[in-house]
Amino acid sequence: MNYKKDKEVIMNTTQRDKNFKGGIQKGTVATDAVAKKLDIQCKTLKETIEVEGLTVQRKLRQDQIPGGIGGCEPDGGAWFKDGKLVAVFEGKKQGKGGNAIERWFKNNYICRAINPNVCYVTFCVGEGAGDGEVLQKTLNIAHRDGINKFIPNRNSVFFSVDGFSDEFISGVMKDVLEYCAEND
């Protein structure tokens, strides 16, 4: 689409354009201490967890994404059993405003297109994770089975304004992955 503004044409870049740069770009980091902590927790804790029969990838390859367009790099990795995507862990930080959570729907849609029964777990922090705030309002439709608990083969979300301990995140990840290793 083209938009005219004061006699100059402004090009609107969409996700289908090769120059579109959505999400957090290579070389950039989470913007505050709470976001950075969650990012580091998810990325480093996935490296410390081993569950027999499961493997982890940092991101999905283009040939794994239906249609081969887009990207999906969940903070806590994409976990596979016998080549089948079984679990994904994502961390999201948001203030009372903003749109950080909107990327969640794209990643969730990609993963559910690959395996409709994937265990998709999200850890949400920041002011937007408070009761009745933007994260809960936005994610409500995708978490009708409940919040702050693991729901096998569905979306699970955990909210904490101030963040989570390493032990909590690691414990949830291990519980989910052990479930995935034992079940198809």
DSSP string, 130-164: STTSHHHHHHGGG-TT-SSS--TTSEEEEEETT--
Total count of domains within the chain: 1
**Any domain includes 105:** yes
**Any domain includes 7:** no
**Any domain includes 19:** no
**Any domain includes 163:** yes
Q: First and final CA of the chain: distance in angstroms?
A: 45
pLDDT tier for residue 14 given thresholds of 50, 70 and 90: very low
Q: What is the pLDDT of residue 171?
A: 97
Structural domain boundaries, residue 111: 30-182
Q: What is the DSSP letter of 58?
A: S
**Res. 76: pLDDT tops 90:** yes
| Span 142-182, pLDDT tens digits | 999 999 999 999 999 999 999 999 999 999 999 999 999 99
**Any domain includes 71:** yes
**Any domain includes 80:** yes
CATH code (residue 36): 3.40.580.10
Q: What is the pLDDT of residue 165?
A: 97
Number of other residues whose CB lies within 10 A of the CB of residue 105: 13
**Any domain includes 1:** no
